[in-house]
Amino acid sequence: MNYEIIPSNCDLVSDTTCSSHPLPDTTNMFDIGTSTISSSNLSPAYSVVDHSSSASSVARQYTPRAYRAPTQPKASKPKLGTYEIDRTIGKGIFSVVKLARHTITGLNLAIKLIDKTRLDSENLIKIYRESEILKKLHHPNIVRLFQVMETPKLLCIVMEYLPNGEVFDYIATHGRFSEAEARVKFLDVLSAVDYAHSCGIVHRDLKAENLLFDANMNIKLIDFSFGTHHPDSKRPHSLLSTWCGSPPYAAPEIFKGEPYVGTKADIWSLGVVLYVMVCGTLPFDAQALPHLRHQVLSASFRVPYWLSCVCERLIRWMLSKVPSKRPTTQEIFHHAWFTQPLPELSRDRSILPIETGQRDSGVNCPVWSHERSHSRMGLSDCGESNLNSSRTSLVDPLSNLAADVET
């Protein structure tokens, strides 16, 4: 006898996907569906037919002892133009970030989908300004902008995908960098800021949360939502006056509400970033904004015992209360901390992606007491660091709507 196994129920129910043209609306992109399969396919019944020449051949029901389930076709993913949309990798108040693949090159990208219907005109101006700034900046340590698409409801910003997360999260998980590691990583940040300043752009929100690792663990600067073209600092009437950024990284002149030079405010923030890298915590940190303001205005912070004197001098120079006394990016490049060999005080630890879950086994950075003291900390001052509780969420970048005003 010859037998043929025939599925009696093999219909598939396919879900629809977003078409490439026109672009999908807000509902399609913010709640992406997946293909489904009918329940009848999970346990199909089979009929066995006798194909012999005998006229008495009859069909009978038969369930094989072991069988291979019918192959299920892959659910097609939604598309946005030439991009195939994958999973969600980030969410904001008015936006969602999707991992996507460029169907022509196969390159993985990040697409930020912004719901314009929930934003007012001033916030939209900020977003458009960030896109315009990124179009002009081409540097290996600045996130790359590939394309901007717009529909009546959505603004779609296609950017470079940075898979290894924030510097903030890395330090919170693995602990502080050694000075040797920090010098390499901080050079990435400094190069990006120096390039932006040379293009007439100030960032105004430099912080560890806006520094991301790429696939090779190089640092790239993101989020130019507070960025702007800095005016000529030699003309007092063209100073900036917007109170913006993240409070633990904000310069004293910003807390005072005084007109300020954007590049000098960025240098202060860079000093805080360097401190976070080598110490594993913030130099100025308080739950209440008035207390934080007092700490920043006094420019008083503690230095851990393990920090080299040359690194301490650079940080104190960058965190000068008087803006004119702070170095330029070029002066930082030529500082001894970059040009001279470091003392053998650094822990020998390679930089690994945060997914490895490896933690630093060295001495944890203490939580500073914010007394007005410039003394070095002894071993008895050490406590347990908790940088993760210091995430700079006191100011929502989308909530600050003030425009720059020339004074």
Residue 315 near residue 388, CB atoms below 8 Å: no
Alpha helices in 260-335 (DSSP H): 262-279, 289-298, 309-318, 329-333
pLDDT for 281 equals 95
Instruction: Show Cβ contacts of residue 209 under 8 Å, excluding neighbours closer than 6 positions.
Output: 166, 167, 168, 246, 391, 392
Residues forming a β-bridge with 113: 96, 156
Instruction: Show Cβ contacts of residue 370 under 8 Å, excluding neighbours closer than 6 positions.
Output: 284, 285, 286, 295, 300, 301, 302
Residue 245 near residue 153, CB atoms below 8 Å: no
Q: Which residue has the tokens 């009859």?
A: 58
- 185 known member of a binding site: no
C-alpha distances in Å from residue 82, one per residue of 103, 105, 307, 357: 6, 10, 50, 35
**Is the peptide bond prior to 73 cis by the omega test (within 30 degrees of 0)?**
no
Q: Mind listing the pLDDT tens digit for each residue in 216-263?
A: 999 999 999 899 988 765 565 579 988 889 999 999 999 999 999 999
Residue 222 near residue 90, CB atoms below 8 Å: no
The token pair that represents 205 in the structure block = 């929100």
Alpha carbon distance, N-terminus to C-terminus of the chain: 96
Can you count the helices (H) and strands (E) in the chain?
10, 13
Q: How far, in Å, CA of 242 to CA of 203, rounded?
A: 13
Domains of the chain, with CATH numbers?
Answer: 79-160 (3.30.200.20), 167-399 (1.10.510.10)
Q: How far, in Å, CA of 244 to CA of 246, rounded?
A: 7
What φ, ψ does residue 254 adopt, rounded to 5°?
Answer: -75, -40
pLDDT for 64 equals 54
Choosing from 205, 223, 266, 285, the catalytic residue is 205
Question: Is position 205 annotated as part of the catalytic site?
Answer: yes
Residue 404 near residue 228, CB atoms below 8 Å: yes
pLDDT for 125 equals 86
Ranges of residues in the chain with a pLDDT under 70 are 1-74, 232-237, 343-407
Q: Mind listing the pLDDT tens digit for each residue in 151-193?
A: 888 899 999 999 999 999 999 999 999 999 999 999 999 999 9
Instruction: Show Cβ contacts of residue 88 under 8 Å, excluding neighbours closer than 6 positions.
Output: 96, 97, 98, 99
Residue 98 near residue 111, CB atoms below 8 Å: yes
